[in-house]
Amino acid sequence: MFVQVKNITVTEGNSAQVVERFSKPGIIEEQEGFIDATVMVKKVRRGEEEVMIQIRWKSEEYWKQWEKSEAHIAGHKANRGKPKPEYIVNSEGGLYTVVNVKEAKAKENIES
C-alpha cells in the first residue's frame, strides 16, 4: 500500500473550506488502484487549524498513474497562476510506503 499525505494549515475557522474541497466527489475515486481518502482536522494553536488528508493507493505504481493522468494534470493546469486562498497559511505533503498494518481482532472495535 502507498499513502500520500497532505497537511494544510489554515487560519482559524477555515478548515471547513478545505474539508469540503477534499470530501466532495471527484474523478480520483474512479482511478484504478485508489483505495480511499481520509480527511481529518486538528486544532493546532489559537488562530490556526490543520487539515490532514491521507490518500491511500494499492501501490506506488497506481499513484504514479494518477499523477501522470490527463485528468490530474488538467486539474492542476486549471489552477495554474491563480493565487492560493488567503486562509491557507502553509501546505506540505509526503509520500509513504506502508510497511505494516495492525487490524482489530474484534469487529466491534472498528465499527462506530
Residue 73: enclosing H or E segment and its boundaries?
A: helix 70-79
Where are the chain's structural domains?
Answer: 2-109
> What's the one-letter identity of residue 1?
M
Indicate the fold that domain 2-109 takes in CATH: Alpha-Beta Plaits (3.30.70)
pTM here is 0.83
Specify the DSSP class assigned to residue 12: T
User: Residues 96-107: what's their mean pLDDT?
Assistant: 88
Residue 112 has pLDDT above 70, yes or no: no
Tens digit of each residue's pLDDT (9 = 90 or more) over 18-77: 999 999 998 999 999 999 999 999 876 678 999 999 999 999 999 999 999 998 888 778
